[in-house]
Amino acid sequence: MLSVVFRVDDGRVSVLLWQRALEPAAGAWALPGGRLGPDEDLPTSARRLLADKVDLTDVAHLEQFAEFSDPHRVPPTDDARRTLASAFLGLVRAGTDPRLPDDTAWHPVDDLPTTAFDHGVMVHRARARLAARLSYTNIGFALAPREFPVSELRDIYVAVLGYPVDATNLLRILSRRSVITATGSTARSGRAGGRPPALYRFQDTYLRVTDEFATLRPPG
C-alpha cells in the first residue's frame, strides 16, 4: 500500500516522500505506505498509514489509481515473497502546510531525487492521472484553497497540466459545468492596487464527473 500525495505550491506540483533508513534502498526517497491491516479496507489503510508514517491527516481527496505487480519491482526478502503495491493518489489543498517528520519532505515532481524501487514511475503515473482528471471532473477542489481568485485556480491548472491555460476561458468552462461559483466576496488588492479580484469556490468537495468527454488541450 503506497500513496502518491501531491500539492501545488509556488506554481509547482510537489509530492510527499520520506527517506528510507533501512535496506533495501536505504537513503533513497520513497512514497509513504505499509501493509494492509487485517480489519481494514484499502482506503482506510491508506489514510492510517499516511497518519502513522508521515503525520499527514489533512488529505482532501484519496483514490486508488493503479496496481504494481512486476515480479522484480522490489528485491526479494528472506522469505522470498513477492511484493505487490496498491497505489493511491492523494491531494492536499494549496496553502495548507502540515507538520512533517524530519525524514519527510515535499519534492517537485519535475525534479525528483533518487527514489526507491519503482516509486518514481508511480509518481509520474499519478501525475498523468491527475492531469486527465482535471478535464472531466471537479478534482481541482482538492488542490485549491476553499476560496480563490480565478487567477490562482488557473495557476494550479497550469502547474498540473504543464501548459498555459487562459483564466477567462477556464472560468467560462467551470461555471458552465457548475463546478465553481462566485462567493460574493473579493480578495485583497495587490501591492499595485487595482480592482480587487472576485473570489470563487468549488460547489462540491467530493469527486464528481462534470463532462466525461471533455479534454483540456494545450493552446495552438
> Can you give the pTM of this predicted structure?
0.92
Nearest to 112 by CA among 100, 102, 122: 122
Per DSSP, the three-state class of 141 is helix
pLDDT of residue 195: 80
Q: Which three cell numbers stand for residue 158?
A: 497550469
Q: Which three cell numbers stand for residue 26?
A: 536505504
pLDDT of residue 78: 55
Alpha carbon distance 64, 136 (integer Å): 18
All structural domains of the chain with their residue ranges: 2-135
pLDDT tens track, the chain, 220 positions: 899 999 998 899 999 999 998 888 888 999 999 888 889 999 999 999 999 989 999 999 999 999 897 877 777 665 556 778 899 999 999 988 888 989 999 999 999 999 999 999 999 999 999 999 999 999 999 999 999 999 999 999 999 999 999 999 999 999 999 999 999 999 876 665 668 899 999 999 999 999 887 777 777 6
**Residue 147 amino acid letter:** E
pLDDT of residue 84: 82
CA distances for 107 relative to 8, 30, 111, 203, angstroms: 11, 11, 7, 30
Asked if CATH classification 3.40.50.800 holds for the domain at 2-135, the reply, yes or no, is no
